[in-house]
């Protein structure tokens, strides 16, 4: 990928971060039960709707987004009509407290493990992750293969597509810091972006469970056709070691597929669910 093209992509990511983190929604997830989850150093806030279904569906948001991004178009609420659903705010987001540094994938995955263990009651989980959240659920699945039933990646970050320089990460960090402050979760996570990509590049293949990936393919001022093809090719690598792998291109969607085409996410979630016992 050309350096100039990469700069455009990173700047677009910075713009997405600012848009996402500054979004104001009226959604307080009213049908979900709010729970404070205790850690040694801080508390996270979760939102759950539990009816003792066979699987627990867990949502992981991207850089700059709290849990409400999944109910912007009622994705979580509609899935809850069939299955138990769990959303939460990572440290420094929404109603969750700030957590200790570094806010890297290893720590975020560890905290996700505790959140899931609080609610799973021994059940396997179906993980849905967007953008940076894709890195987190990927690490979770690798570390917890026997607890993972299936994975739905919504335009996930990937080390073979994202290659920010230190200067580009600095701009991403500064943009978030200026807009939201140094303690905002997205700001702290932006500081670890290069290290996170290096970390996930060392992970083994995903466990052999059903995996479905949605890749945004909408060409615009910041995403050329060649860049999007590179993204698609990177996402294809997630199929290594996976017998049941489905990859869907979304030419009508930008990075936020669940907002641009919520039915595409819901329909393919149902496809994924149909593959499970």
- DSSP conformation letters of 132-173: HHHHHHHHHHHH-GGGEEEEEEES---TTT----HHHHHHHH
* CA nearest to 129, candidates 169, 82, 86, 99: 86
207 alpha-carbon distance from chain centroid: 18
- On whether the CB atoms of residues 105 and 75 are closer than 8 A, the answer is no
- On whether the CB atoms of residues 23 and 179 are closer than 8 A, the answer is no
Quote the pLDDT of residue 30.
Answer: 53
Query: Which pair of tokens denotes residue 212?
Result: 């479905």
Phi then psi for 82, rounded to 5 degrees?
-115, -35
CATH number of the domain at 3-274, please?
A: 3.40.50.1820
Quote the pLDDT of residue 31.
Answer: 83
Q: How much is the pTM?
A: 0.92
- Strands in 125-130's sheet, in edge-to-edge order, are 33-38, 43-49, 84-89, 56-60, 125-130, 148-154, 211-216, 245-250
The full length of the chain comes to 277
Query: Given the structure tokens 């991207």, which residue do they identify?
Result: 62
Quote the pLDDT of residue 29.
Answer: 53
DSSP assignment string, 168-229:
HHHHHHHHHHHHH-TTSHHHHHHTTHHHHHHHHTT--PPPSS-EEEEEE---BTTB-HHHHH
Exposed, middle or buried: residue 248 (CB in 10 Å: 0-12, 13-18, 19+)?
middle
What does each of the 277 residues of the chain score in pLDDT, given as a tens digit?
Answer: 343 344 444 444 544 444 444 444 444 455 899 999 999 999 999 999 999 999 999 999 999 999 999 999 999 999 999 999 999 999 999 999 999 999 999 999 999 999 999 999 999 999 999 999 999 999 999 999 999 999 999 999 999 999 999 999 999 999 999 999 999 999 999 999 999 999 999 999 999 999 999 999 999 998 999 999 999 999 999 999 999 999 999 999 999 999 999 999 999 999 999 999 9
């Amino acid at each position: 990928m050309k350096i100039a093209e990469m700069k455009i992509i990173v700047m677009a990511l910075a713009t997405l971060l600012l848009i996402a983190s500054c979004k104001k929604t009226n959604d307080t997830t009213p049908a979900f039960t709010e729970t404070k989850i205790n850690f040694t150093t801080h508390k996270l806030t979760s939102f759950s709707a539990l009816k003792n279904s066979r699987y627990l569906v867990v949502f992981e948001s991207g850089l700059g987004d709290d849990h409400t991004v999944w109910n912007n178009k009622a994705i979580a609420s509609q899935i809850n009509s069939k299955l138990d659903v769990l959303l939460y705010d990572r440290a420094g987001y929404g109603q969750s407290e700030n957590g200790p540094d570094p806010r890297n994938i290893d720590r975020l995955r560890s905290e996700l493990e505790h959140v899931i263990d609080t609610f799973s009651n021994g059940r396997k989980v179906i993980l849905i992750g967007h953008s940076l959240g894709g890195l987190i659920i990927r690490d979770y699945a690798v570390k917890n293969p026997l607890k993972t039933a299936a994975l739905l990646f919504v335009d996930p970050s990937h080390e073979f597509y994202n290659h920010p320089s230190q200067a580009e990460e600095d701009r991403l960090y500064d943009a978030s810091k200026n807009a939201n402050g140094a303690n905002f979760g997205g700001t702290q996570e932006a500081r670890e972006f290069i290290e996170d990509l290096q970390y996930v590049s060392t992970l083994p293949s995903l466990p052999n469970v059903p995996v479905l990936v949605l890749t945004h393919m909408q060409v615009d001022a910041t995403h050329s056709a060649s860049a999007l093809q590179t993204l698609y090719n990177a996402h294809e690598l997630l199929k290594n070691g996976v017998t049941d792998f489905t990859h869907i291109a979304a030419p009508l969607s930008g990075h936020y597929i669940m907002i641009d085409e919520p039915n595409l996410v819901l329909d393919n979630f149902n496809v994924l669910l149909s593959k499970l016992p």
